[in-house]
Amino acid sequence: MKNAFLHGDLTEDIYMRPPAGLFSTPTSAVCKLRRSLYGLKQAPRAWYERFTSVLLQFDFLKSKYDASLFLRKTANGVVFLLVYVDDIVITGTDLALIDQLKQHLQKSFHMKDLGPLTYFLGLEIHAGSHGIFLSQHKYAMDLVAAAGLQHLPPLDTPMEINLKLRKDEGDLLSDPAAYRTLVGSLLYLTHTRPDISFAVQQVSQFMASPRHLHMAAVRRILRYIHGTIRSGLCYPVGTSLDLIAYSDADYAGCSDTRRSITGWCMFLGPALISWKSKKQDRVSKSSTESEYRAMSQACSEIIWLHGLLAELGFQQCTPTPLFADNTSAIHLTANPIFHERTKHIEVDCHFIRDAFAAQTISLPHVSSNLQVADVFTKTLTRN
């Protein structure tokens, strides 16, 4: 497997210079814009369409499940290309095709080959014989330093146990900009730090009018990060590529709205690849309903991952187990009869029944003390 990191130049053909003397005197003449200028609203779309057309000419296919992913399969292997604006990651097993692709791109754009992938959009990539390790070590260090907390002792957990933040509790911050900046940065850090997902989800609810208690919670998260600065995600080689999912909910977890908190996570073999901690968009009338809604949202992610993995060449041949710890919600999914207590649940939530009937998923029960997704629904102890 070989990978490469390319950086493209979007400034190609963006300069417009009118002929000498055209605007020397007042005139009503205008210039017709034939190409997109950098900085205009339509520039990103024009760049994406241009880049896509170049790749399609080179027999690459655009993914049906991710607009930024392109792939090409040959007799010698497969090559994947991932693009984010003008930063490009190329990886695959057909080494000759990778070299040809880089030459093809450099003929069409101003490209700079940065070599093997080690740093991408704040993510640090460490590849070795045992697998790949992703972290945001430098990004986290800079974030802690920006908050001025690098000299304080670290903490063991990102939030106090059983802490319930409320929107009207405490005094308003005189300058909410610092709070919004820190929370926005923490949201990006959750790309490699699932352990802070729930805590960041909690503090992100108060961006409109943050208070001193909310800022204290943010500072605690940063002190926890300071003590776990080198944590990240590990993707070992030679392991199973079967998809496994966990789903959980904290009934009426929000003190202000009484909405429940959804948490789910997906593993490809032993490697964590997707997770979510989010407040549900409406109030549930029972813990069974809140768990059922969480399972339905997790099922949507499973179906999307099934399509993406099949496109990458890793077809899931068996139903994906979705582990849940609420037996009533499991029975509700497996039973096609609408009960009196579930008639109010929206029809779109019930699509999980179709996925169960089609054997896209299975629904094994897991005890609450083994529920991995619990970390995305509430504050937990250090262990």
Residue-wise burial string across 218-238, b where 16 or more C-beta atoms lie within 10 A, e elsewhere? bbbbbbbbbebbebbbebeee
- Give strand pairing partners of 5: 89
Task: Extract the tokens encoding 2.
Answer: 């070989």
Instruction: Mark out the alpha helices in the chain (DSSP H runs).
Output: 43-57, 95-108, 137-146, 177-189, 197-203, 212-227, 287-312, 327-334, 351-357
3-state secondary structure of 133: strand
Which pLDDT tens digits describe the chain residue by residue (383 residues)?
Answer: 567 667 665 444 445 566 677 666 666 667 777 777 777 788 888 889 999 999 999 999 999 999 999 999 999 999 999 999 889 999 999 999 999 999 999 999 988 999 999 999 999 999 999 999 999 999 999 999 999 999 999 999 999 998 899 999 999 999 999 999 999 999 999 999 999 999 999 999 999 999 999 999 999 999 999 999 999 999 999 999 999 999 999 999 999 999 999 999 999 999 999 999 999 999 999 999 999 999 999 999 999 999 999 999 999 999 999 999 999 999 988 886 656 667 778 777 888 999 999 999 999 999 999 999 999 999 988 88
Do 244 and 369 belong to one domain?
yes
CB-count exposure of residue 154 (10 Å: 0-12, 13-18, 19+) = middle
* Assigned domain for 325 exists: yes
Domains held by the chain: number: 3
Q: With left for phi above 0 and alpha for psi between -120 and 50, is residue 294 left, alpha or beta?
A: alpha
Predicted pLDDT of residue 35: 74
Helix axes of 287-312 and 327-334: crossing angle, nearest 10 degrees? 60
Task: Extract the tokens encoding 160.
Answer: 């106090």
Predicted pLDDT of residue 12: 46
| Alpha carbons 293 and 256: distance in angstroms, whole number | 20
* 72 phi, psi to nearest 5 deg: -145, 130
Do 246 and 369 belong to one domain?
yes
Residue at 315: amino acid letter: Q
Do 282 and 330 belong to one domain?
yes
For residue 65, count other CB atoms closer than 10 A to its CB: 14
* Assigned domain for 12 exists: yes
Q: Which of 199, 227, 255 is the last residue of a domain?
A: 227
* Assigned domain for 123 exists: no
Predicted pLDDT of residue 9: 59
Q: Look at strands 123-128 and 261-268 and give their pairing.
A: unpaired
| Alpha carbons 211 and 172: distance in angstroms, whole number | 4
Q: With left for phi above 0 and alpha for psi between -120 and 50, is residue 213 left, alpha or beta?
A: alpha
Do 246 and 371 belong to one domain?
yes
Q: Which of 227, 253, 272 is the last residue of a domain?
A: 227
* Assigned domain for 234 exists: no
How many DSSP H helices and E strands does the chain contain?
A: 9, 15
Do 109 and 9 belong to one domain?
yes
Predicted pLDDT of residue 335: 80
Predicted pLDDT of residue 41: 81
Do 223 and 248 belong to one domain?
no
Do 49 and 177 belong to one domain?
no
Q: Which of 61, 90, 117 is the last residue of a domain?
A: 117
Name every residue whose Cβ is closer than 8 Å to that of residue 279 and which is 6 or more positions away in sequence. 201, 205, 253, 254, 257, 259, 260, 261, 262
* Assigned domain for 30 exists: yes
* Assigned domain for 130 exists: no
Q: Look at strands 271-279 and 320-323 and give their pairing.
A: unpaired
Q: Is the dihedral of CA 151, 156, 161, 167 positive or negative?
A: positive
Do 77 and 22 belong to one domain?
yes
CATH of the domain at 292: 3.30.420.10
For residue 275, count other CB atoms closer than 10 A to its CB: 19
Do 54 and 84 belong to one domain?
yes
Do 63 and 113 belong to one domain?
yes
Residue-wise burial string across 281-305, b where 16 or more C-beta atoms lie within 10 A, e elsewhere? eeebeebbbbbbbbbbbbbebbbeb
Do 357 and 314 belong to one domain?
yes
* Assigned domain for 127 exists: no
| Alpha carbons 361 and 363: distance in angstroms, whole number | 7
| Alpha carbons 366 and 327: distance in angstroms, whole number | 9
**197 near 275, Cβ under 8 Å?**
yes
Helix axes of 137-146 and 212-227: crossing angle, nearest 10 degrees? 140
Do 7 and 103 belong to one domain?
yes
* Assigned domain for 162 exists: yes
Predicted pLDDT of residue 11: 47
Domain residues for the domain of 19 are: 2-117
Predicted pLDDT of residue 166: 95
